[in-house]
Structure 1
């Protein structure tokens, strides 16, 4: 029977605790995660939660699944990272610009089809400022890569967005993703240590 780490919740043979560096994000990271994505072993939201422990993850699809999120959105201070027809480049957003600075960012986690289903079922998201990532670095998430231009893991999207808006170093997220991938590809090597 496989034993799991009580902190990172990965199997002991692939424990990531030594690779976790906590990021003190001034932004509240909120993830709306498709229910099918939540149980996927290669999902990177688990990693985001380890590095940014204040991350809030809500699982579902329909509007009723995310009522508590809708009720806790700070008016004028929350944006959603989703490439809609009305979205603007997040890289162009200025915290010192007109209006209140962002204090919350919502991300939708799932395949493109799953994310679209959440977007369509939750019309309340459409009233929030919408952003897309215009100049994000190329994805390095290779164990579950989608062959679409500008596809990023949710972890990579969070890393880039938080760095853009808050101006903080989010490289520990990317380093954690790299460690996760190294263990995923060859867990036998880590068992020998």
Structure 2
């Protein structure tokens, strides 16, 4: 018996595979994951990578010389944008081209870790930065967030895809996310969730 699921990499008891549904999307996702997130029990990027066959995850901090990523960024027939709320970022709908495939880069980590990836990865600096609508609210109930509109990586991916492909159903991403959170809450001793996260 494996201690960790061979597919989702989470502890066997906390395996999320039963909640994952394959989703087809024209938009491609590149997830740049900070090493501190790779084995985090509540990491949500794995939901995206398991659900979307056209997503890819790279782990690291400085991606400047990442050969595979740079090969992808060099593809001329693809519009590359990065979800990062910079001073010059624009709404995601305004950044994509009807004549090119769209590939969106997500930074997976705390705000501090995501900023570090953005700061040191020189190959990201020339990309268009995009942001989501400011009124979105996250549902990461068991992780303290800097503000109520902070989103987990899977929520950010869901809203991006929903904005760009409203004709498709991406709700299974949020279903898997919610079930993963509820499982963790159910493992807590009585009163711990209420005391630490609802107060």
| TM-score strictly above 0.5 | yes
Give the distance between the partners of 1:12 and 1:39, measured in 2 at CA.
Answer: 13
* 2:79 alignment partner in structure 1: 77
> Structure 1 pair 176/61, CA: closer, same or farther in 2 (3 Å)?
same
For 1:8-87, list aligned pairs within 5 A.
8-64=8-64, 66-73=66-73, 74-75=75-76, 77-87=79-89
**Alpha-carbon distance, 1:93 to partner:** 4.8
Quote the residue 1:126 is aligned against. Answer: 125
Q: Is the 8 A contact 2:134 2:149 kept in 1?
A: no
Between 1 and 2, higher relative CO (CA 8 Å, sep ≥ 6) is seen in 1
> Matches of residues 37-186 of structure 1 in structure 2 within 5 Å?
37-64=37-64, 66-73=66-73, 74-75=75-76, 77-93=79-95, 96=98, 100-135=99-134, 137-167=136-166, 168-186=168-186
Distance 2:29 2:10 in 1: 22
DSSP 3-state at the match of 1:58: strand
TM-score (norm 1): 0.84
Structure 1 stretches of at least 4 aligned residues deviating more than 6 Å after TM superposition? none
Output the CA distance in 1 between the equivalents of 2:39 and 2:135.
27
Q: Secondary structure at the match of 1:63?
A: coil
Aligned counterparts of 2:80 and 2:30: Cα–Cα separation in 1: 10
Describe the superposition over 1:30-63 as per-residue Cα deviations: whole angstroms up to 9, x where unpaired.
Answer: 0011111212111101111121133200011113
> Number of paired residues?
185
CA contact (8 A) 1:91 1:134 kept: no
TM-score normalised by length of structure 2: 0.82
Moved more, 126-135 or 23-32: 126-135
Q: Deviations over 1:112-160 (max 9, x none)?
A: 1111111111122121121011246310111213132421000000000
Which segments of 5 or more consecutive residues in structure 1 lack a partner in the other structure? 189-193
